[in-house]
Amino acid sequence: MTEHDDIWMPLVDEPIGSVVTQLQAEHSEIDALVAGPHKILAFRTFAYIRVGLVLGQLLVEHDVPDYDGTETWIEALLRDPRHKEAVVCELRAVAEEVAADPRYAAEEPIGPDDEARERFREFARKQLG
């Protein structure tokens, strides 16, 4: 394997991965910071760990209702806006740290940029017209 080969490893991501994915989708500024294959991998790796730590700390510090089958303890914690904001702040911090890492400075984002998307939309409008 050469030094330039991409290595993608599966990450155990449930339910924390779902939380990270949902909150990342709700906060586009996080996506903008980690728009590249290696940045995404680093972000997810550290975000899962650090969000897990934040959630664990919240669980220790705050009571959650007894499990009745309708929601997980994570969902119960995240209903409180303060808890959700704590997790979002941690995600944003991870994204900022990954974005600031000089090893990823030259990395190209995944997918087309906004200009390419607009060119495609214009092309599609002309073709489908």
| Residue range 22-45, pLDDT digits in tens | 999 999 899 888 888 888 889 999
CA separation for the pair 93, 97 (Å, rounded): 6
What does the pLDDT average to over 68-97?
93
3-class secondary-structure state, position 66: coil
Q: Where are the domains of the chain?
A: 16-128
| Residue range 43-58, pLDDT digits in tens | 999 999 999 999 999 9
Q: What is the mean pLDDT of the chain?
A: 84
The answer to whether 17 and 85 have CB atoms below 8 angstroms apart is no
pLDDT band for position 1 (cuts 50, 70, 90): very low
**Under the phi-then-psi rule, with left for phi > 0, alpha for psi from -120 to 50, and beta for the rest, what region is 111?**
left
Give Cβ neighbours of residue 16 (< 8 Å, ≥ 6 apart): 48, 51, 52, 55, 74
CA separation for the pair 17, 45 (Å, rounded): 10
Distances (CA, A) of 115 to 31, 51, 110: 17, 34, 14
- State what percent of residues in the chain have pLDDT above 70: 84
